[in-house]
Amino acid sequence: MHAYAVQDASGLLKMDAMENPYRLPAALQAQLGQRLGAVELNRYPGSRLDALRQALARHAQMPEGFGLMLGNGSDELISLLAMACDRPGATILAPVPGFVMYAMSAQLQGLNFVGVPLTADFELDEAAMLAAIEQHQPAIVFLAYPNNPTANLWDDTVVERIVAAAPGLVVMDEAYQPFASRSYIDRVARHGHVLLMRTLSKFGLAGVRLGYMMGPSALMAEIDKVRPPYNVSVLNAECALFALEHAEVFDAQAADLRAQRDALLPALRALGLKVWNSDANMVLVRVPGEAQAVFEGMKARGVLVKNVSKMHPLLANCLRLTVGSADDNAQMLRALQQSL
């Protein structure tokens, strides 16, 4: 296997990892500096994590009777889920192409991974999903909602049939929720086996590393048994608490990015590319010819995007573009046009 590759972005406009392009306003950044300056670094993380769990539960409108678990990014929670469900022959199932960490965590933990191909237009293949669930009886089904790298939400009727058929856990991964037109949060409490996972990474805090997962309390207490006791640092927690106190700043950034995305889609289509709709802060495009050549051309013009064309046959000739500010997007469009 290969280690998760982080591309070298030095000197490049970074449009490869769905980061929020906007920083905290300077006054808030200074206030945060003061807050961090007062943190007791000599103590293990303690009550501030309880405060953070409560603040996140309020922020996400967590249902009654649910518990919330913190992770060092949702990447860690995905690994912990694989660990919690590890027993001989256990399987993790997810649609593909999808987020690579589901397969990687399964592989690292020694679980089977079953990837069920999406349809050619990147919808869930209901019959194939239900047949694979029946055959493999997965311990976990991951559904990224919206999906990465295809940026779409799933048909909710199909999701409900998958949830009804799943014999183990279903994890709705809402990493891109700040940009999505729907969330599963209102439906999650109807079931006893569905967990909802989110992250502050796409909200504007990718550097902080803070993911969280919610589900029925008794179930969360079981999963919590595999969590290392101090997996989230006091610095991560203080940054996250501060951000939630100023959620309106991040909400406004997300609203701006949704508007930038909605302007970017027709501009990309005007270049004659195949462009898929997006419920996230990324856009998947298919370029004519070799994606690698276009990727290199854009890089030579100072813009780093993600070439996903080799990830899965369904993604042939596809690039994944992160949505940035109006200026970033204009620079990305110019570089793309000149590289085609």
User: Which residues are near ligand PMP by CB under 6 A?
Assistant: 18, 73-75, 99, 144, 148, 173, 175, 199, 201, 206, 211
Question: Least distance from C-beta 338 to ligand PMP, angstroms?
Answer: 28
Q: Which residue is nearest to ligand PMP (CB)?
A: 73
Question: Least distance from C-beta 248 to ligand PMP, angstroms?
Answer: 22
d(CA 60, CA 58): 6
Cβ distance to ligand PMP smaller for residue 4 or 64:
4
Cβ distance to ligand PMP smaller for residue 32 or 232:
232
Question: Least distance from C-beta 279 to ligand PMP, angstroms?
Answer: 12
d(CA 291, CA 287): 6
d(CA 321, CA 306): 7
Cβ distance to ligand PMP smaller for residue 97 or 339:
97
Alpha helices in the chain (DSSP H): 26-37, 47-60, 74-84, 100-109, 126-136, 156-165, 217-223, 234-245, 247-269, 291-300, 326-339
Side-chain-side CA neighbours of 164 within 13 Å: the count stands at 7
Cβ distance to ligand PMP smaller for residue 199 or 329:
199
CB of 320 closer than 8 Å to CB of 282: yes
Cβ distance to ligand PMP smaller for residue 67 or 71:
71
Cβ distance to ligand PMP smaller for residue 45 or 95:
95
CA angle 252, 255, 259 (to 5 degrees): 140
CB of 90 closer than 8 Å to CB of 111: yes
* CA dist 232 → 44, 128, 229, 248 (Å): 10, 38, 9, 24
Question: Least distance from C-beta 169 to ligand PMP, angstroms?
Answer: 16
Question: Least distance from C-beta 193 to ligand PMP, angstroms?
Answer: 20
Question: Least distance from C-beta 337 to ligand PMP, angstroms?
Answer: 27
Starting at the earlier edge strand, list the strands of the sheet with 112-117: 66-71, 211-216, 194-199, 169-173, 140-144, 91-96, 112-117
